Amino acid sequence: DQQVKQNSPSLSVQEGRISILNCDYTNSMFDYFLWYKKYPAEGPTFLISISSIKDKNEDGRFTVFLNKSAKHLSLHIVPSQPGDSAVYFCAASKVNRDDKIIFGKGTRLHILP
C-alpha cells in the first residue's frame, strides 16, 4: 500500500511562475516530511523538510506547507527556473519510531521557457 502518494506524474510550468507540487499521506503516525529533487542518473538531493508541529517552512524559493488534518503537503517553488526541471519526491518519516523514510512515486516538473 502506498503510504505517500503523489498523484500527478508530471507538471509543466512557465519559467518565472509558481510551481506547486502536491503530496498526500495515509499514515497519521508520520511526523516529519521531506522533499527531494532528482536529476537523471543521480541520487536524490534533499531540498526542504517540515516537522509535523509546523505548518510552513521556507527556504529561499522553496516553501513547504503541511495540512495535518487533510494529510496533505505541498511544495511551492517561486519563481520557477529552468534548473528546477527534475523529478520531485515527497517523503515521510516517523522520527520518534522506526525512522525510515518512505517515498512517493515522484512528480516530473518541466519548466517551460
- The site for another protein (CB under 8 A) is made up of 4, 6, 9, 32, 34, 36, 41-46, 49, 89, 91, 93, 95, 98-106
Question: Closer to another protein at the Cβ: 79 or 110?
Answer: 110
Beta bridge pairs of residue 75: 21, 64
φ, ψ for residue 83 (rounded to 5)?
-70, -10
CB of residue 59 to another protein, shortest distance in Å: 12
Q: Distance (Å, rounded) from C-alpha 43 to C-alpha 39?
A: 7
Place of cell 529533487: 37
CB of residue 112 to another protein, shortest distance in Å: 22
CB of residue 104 to another protein, shortest distance in Å: 5
Question: Closer to another protein at the Cβ: 11 or 101?
Answer: 101
Question: Closer to another protein at the Cβ: 17 or 56?
Answer: 56
3-state secondary structure 60-80: CCEEEEEECCCCEEEEEECCC
